[in-house]
Structure 1
Amino acid sequence: MSTDTQVDWAELAPQLVDAARQDRAWYLTLARELVAPGDRLAVDIGCGAAGMSLAIARMMACGRVVAVDAHPAVLDAARDHTRAEWSDPRVRIEPLRAAIPAETAALREALGAPADLIWASAAVHHAGDQQPAVTALAGLLAPGGRLALAEGGLPEHHLPWDVGLGEPGLEVRLHAAQDRWFTRMRAQLPGSRRMPYGWTEALQRAGLSRVTTRTTLDEQPPPLPDGTRRAVVEALAERVGRLRPTGLLTTADLDAWDRLLDPADEKWLGHRGDLFRLSARSVHLGVHP
């Protein structure tokens, strides 16, 4: 089996902390909408560096936020991040190792009670069979509890259509290659099975009601602040690096990216004043009857 789609979570852990800090405002906006006054137990599935765990904790009067991930290196990053950012004893943030849906029973026992809110961002798509994973999460909810899946939306764009190197549409082709990479990754997961319907349908099939979707536009027009511009260039370099060994990018496109991502080259993206950030993030919500 090819390994070019395997994710090295230990290597990505520092990037997860950076991403959590960059997304702080988005997390807080959503947590403000999702957390109800009486919530006492929230769960962050596939927690990354626990950025959403922190946002949820800030919206709760008291209780627990359980930050769940299957990968020890990710949980270490979450633990370090929350220790640095959180000290209010009224709401505890507890890292916990568990994989969904395989270890649902162990997670239920560790929680000790049904959850008021479950958040899962870019996590369920790592399960080979996604519908049982959604159903398992729904089964952890208390009556009136909410399951929020942050999946889908539109990929982040940064570059003008013509960057002056290679064929125009360079970033469009990068997105297309990323989509093919994702298809390969899904096919190589243990027990992989297609889910030929959308996330709202998956929530309904899991027995949830009042299913809705909220999509948030994230837009930062040029000129970007220096720190944001560096983060954009680093993110593009990481994506190109991941796709380089897959054969999904042409030699001509890789040559163009090599120049754009080389700080010693006159075409380095860090010199450009027209970089931007534009994406749309979707959150799908269902309520336990």
Structure 2
Amino acid sequence: MGNMRTLHSTTMCRLLGYATANENISLREVLGAQSTDAFRELSEIHNDGWGTAMVKEPDQTAHVTDGGAPSPSTGSAIYRNTIAARYDSIFGDLASVPMRGGIWHLRLASSNLPLVLENQQPFYASGLSFIHNGDISDAQGRNITTNRAYPVDHTLVQSTGGRSDSAIYFAIVLQYLGYGYELEEALAQAVRELRDAYPDSSYNCIIQSRDQLIVLEAHDNGPTQQDVLDVYAQYGRAAEAADYRTVRYREITGADGARKGVVAASSGFAQPADEGWKDLGNNRMIVASNRTGAFRVRSI
């Protein structure tokens, strides 16, 4: 199957993230075993590597001076691999690790950007992890990475560790943070700026800090691009691409029905309304706390 793919200009990634009420819960517990396996199997198509970033309530007591730096109040970890998730046994291990919040990315490389670890997501800089589904190119298919005149702080791009359009997107968010905006508004401002130059691109993304999870759906209003449909069709899964850019979310609840946070994901695995899944909607974002599990939805 891996040789069936055709060249395409649209980034084809799948995103997932969740935030809890300050409680360590694994991905497998949040989604259930069947949905976790279904998300992983999307890497049949999205087979150019994967990654995850996790924030965790540490088992060790915080702020203990033990000869080095004081022990942290939040454990942070990132894993990235150029191997598809379905072939990486570490995926199963990490899907069972309890965490206060986590983001997950399945990649299918776009615009002929190289399959190197530097371009694997999540990117991490300034205490934030970032994942993106979308190709930032103009109407002629010229990716933003070729636009040397685009006004972005290249020091910030370098700080992300990446060399892709997604790294530039993240750097622009960091730029607006530097201007004094709060994280959610820095993201909204970055999208507004990028849309002035690249109006037809997709900006679906998830950002995670030690305190917050922000999930954004932002794209043009046209139908799913033909190259996306073509790639899915090669795997006999064309019908699954109809809602390709849709992001859905649902509350995380305990066995007693108590609210414990929120999970959001790209389409591609079953997300039935009768299980609480809701469409986020274009140009809307979830702003969630991974300290309290509280969240709200706003427009950009």
TM-score by length of structure 2 reads 0.27
Q: Which has the larger radius of gyration?
A: 1
Higher helix share: 1
Q: Which structure has more RCO (C-alpha within 8 Å, separation ≥ 6)?
A: 2
